[in-house]
Structure 1
């Protein structure tokens, strides 16, 4: 019998049962991939992480991230939440360096006046990269919207990534609450885009200045809707900065999960750097559960 400790935390919120829940399993380096995936499916959350010994001893940990159906190269709320859990166990932890498939993730732990962790700030592992555009009709069809609900003023729907790709599209503010994923349309869209692999995740947003409202849908990966998506909002911030040539930095307040009853708040900063536009994102966490998982 292999019993591994776990903790769950709500990420990008100061309110328990808000934000995006995350399960953090400590250990499990001897577990087969299939068992890790089964544990993640059992938790049935957007993501579950396994904290493992780092390949480089100078780093804090190697972190494997699984959604309900597959391993992920990078995800934002797992980095914030995993750092929070480790900081709660180690009062001296001020910074963390995580090894993930997308690269190295640097994290700054945030603590309150009593030294208790309250959240973290995460630097995305890659600069902004852009892929193909997607027809607005296709996005509208996948979300049961009208073609006119897709806003094309700044950019068309486009694949963007800082370690994990998303189709990012701006929608009319009145249309955002009406988004309703059509699973068959998602499957059809992926069938004509086999180069997307198994992922077709759509991140939509509306904006008023630097304040954004966002929703993310990945039903083919088992996440009908995500309450807070750091790895989607980070490239969104970078993308918007790319259309502001006079600015070297832009800070965005991003609200997500409102329609799900799990309101989340992400603070994202995009900056121009010598190797491209990079993002950092920060958020707070609330502990929820602790226990052991029997991995057989």
Structure 2
């Protein structure tokens, strides 16, 4: 039997935020077995903390959706780091996480963890019309002062700027995947340093909280000139309200010459359950 914990990430109360299963002592599991465990839980991601293979890392993390392994993800990184800190596996303070994407800095304390993303990347600019249509929206719903397109800081996402009331009205169409580059399509309304977002996965479904999308959002906001002045910008990201799992993600973006040079995302974590699961 394998021990596991279930956490709610990016929330300060249980039964909100994004669910995460963390499965322990999985060193002997094959890829197929990890995939089977993730499919059994059925959450957006299941995390497997393992001993590092890089001497510079404190631990290694493998992350599986119900259908595939991800090289990097935000809420599994935040949740697992916090859990290891709360159970004595890591001291509070900075630590280094190893994933298939490489090494990432995490900082943890008694209530929350913060993850630093990869080097910011800006991808293609895209026509907002087809993206809006893929969410059942109209061109009139598109925010006209920022161009849609792709950005990332670990995983790439497609961003569609929309008016505030349009975020809640978005309903993905069956052909959404044909219009999306990267992990998913993010509808975003950004006003006075606060963002209301929804993230629709290219493979289907919607996330209640997406840490890697919050990292990418900071890159996209900087590139579109929506962050004014250079230095550190603090952004509050709201997500998950439409799924009745409200989430709060705290994103920090450092800009130099109007370009994002460093992005981080943090949030609180709440334990929900602990148990055992069979070895597949």
TM-score range, shorter chain: over 0.9
- Following TM superposition, by how much is the alpha carbon of 1:71 offset from its aligned partner in structure 2, in angstroms? 1.1
Decide whether the 8 Å contact of 2:38 with 2:64 is kept in 1: yes
Q: Alpha-carbon deviations, 1:139-180, whole Å to 9, x = none?
A: 1121111122122312x2111110101001111111111111
- Following TM superposition, by how much is the alpha carbon of 1:273 offset from its aligned partner in structure 2, in angstroms? 6.5
Say which of 166, 177, 195 aligns to 1:175: 166
Q: Go from structure 1 to structure 2 and tell me whether the alpha carbon gap of 1:187 and 1:213 turns closer, same or farther (over 3 Å shift).
A: closer
Give the unaligned 5+ runs of structure 2.
Answer: none
Q: Go from structure 1 to structure 2 and tell me whether the alpha carbon gap of 1:239 and 1:98 turns closer, same or farther (over 3 Å shift).
A: same
Is 1:74 aligned with 2:72? Answer: yes
Instruction: Single out whichever of 266-275 and 54-63 deviates more from structure 2.
Output: 266-275
Equivalent-residue separation in structure 1 for 2:256 and 2:72 (angstroms) = 21
- Following TM superposition, by how much is the alpha carbon of 1:121 offset from its aligned partner in structure 2, in angstroms? 1.3
2:145 aligns with 153
Instruction: Provide the aligned C-alpha RMSD in A.
Output: 1.9
Is 1:282 aligned with 2:266? Answer: yes
Equivalent-residue separation in structure 2 for 1:248 and 1:150 (angstroms) = 28
Is 1:249 aligned with 2:232? Answer: yes
Equivalent-residue separation in structure 1 for 2:90 and 2:21 (angstroms) = 22
Equivalent-residue separation in structure 1 for 2:15 and 2:241 (angstroms) = 13
Is 1:291 aligned with 2:275? Answer: yes
1:165 aligns with 156
Decide whether the 8 Å contact of 1:9 with 1:288 is kept in 2: yes
Q: TM-score, normalised by structure 1?
A: 0.87
2:62 aligned counterpart, secondary structure? strand
Say which of 212, 217, 232 aligns to 2:195: 212
Give the unaligned 5+ runs of structure 1.
Answer: 112-117, 191-195
1:38 aligns with 36
Q: Alpha-carbon deviations, 1:270-295, whole Å to 9, x = none?
A: 01379952111110011001111212
- Following TM superposition, by how much is the alpha carbon of 1:204 offset from its aligned partner in structure 2, in angstroms? 1.4
Q: Alpha-carbon deviations, 1:212-250, whole Å to 9, x = none?
A: 111100051x4x110111100111112213324632221
Aligned pairs (5 A) from 1:192-207: 199-207=182-190
Decide whether the 8 Å contact of 2:49 with 2:59 is kept in 1: yes
Q: Go from structure 1 to structure 2 and tell me whether the alpha carbon gap of 1:230 and 1:200 turns closer, same or farther (over 3 Å shift).
A: closer
